[in-house]
């Protein structure tokens, strides 16, 4: 069973994404946190297979959080989630170590397809 971490400074965004993920057929367990430092701690301790990372968070933003998680050896998948869909954010995220980009508002089919693609064996 895949472990998915949702990171967003807005708790309602985490709830929405987790509710959407529950409708996806890929078996998984999910957890949420609301800051970069908490995401780093959970990436180390819970070891998720996939992280959905908000890019715009106060304090430590998503890009810095991704860089820190990758520098600590995290090998799982990371997807940037943001309402700001400018291509610059996608490039920054990939440069930091993200595996994909998901624009808000979250579309059920897009997220399920992305989860299936990223969690496929191989």
pLDDT band at 9 (very low <50, low <70, confident <90, very high): very high
CA–CA dist 45, 1 (Å, integer):
17
pLDDT at residue number 69: 97
pLDDT at residue number 85: 63
CA–CA dist 81, 66 (Å, integer):
12
2-119: what fold? Rossmann fold (3.40.50)
| pLDDT tens per residue, range 11-43 | 999 999 999 999 998 889 999 999 999 999 999
Query: Is the CB of residue 34 less than 8 Å from the CB of residue 8?
Result: yes
Q: In what order do the strands lie in the sheet with 100-103?
A: 28-33, 2-7, 50-54, 77-82, 100-103
Place of tokens 């971490």: 5
Domain boundaries, the chain: 2-119
Place of tokens 């780093």: 40
């Amino acid at each position: 069973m895949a472990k998915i971490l949702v990171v967003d400074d807005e708790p309602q965004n985490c709830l929405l994404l987790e509710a959407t993920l529950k409708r996806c057929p890929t078996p998984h367990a999910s957890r949420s946190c609301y800051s970069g430092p908490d995401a780093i701690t959970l990436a180390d301790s819970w070891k998720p297979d996939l992280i959905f990372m908000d890019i715009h968070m106060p304090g430590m933003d998503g890009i810095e959080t991704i860089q820190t998680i990758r520098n600590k050896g995290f090998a799982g998948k990371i997807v940037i989630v943001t309402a700001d869909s400018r291509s610059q954010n996608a490039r920054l995220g990939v440069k930091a170590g993200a595996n994909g980009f998901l624009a808000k508002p979250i579309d059920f089919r897009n997220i399920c397809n992305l989860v299936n693609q990223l969690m496929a064996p191989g």
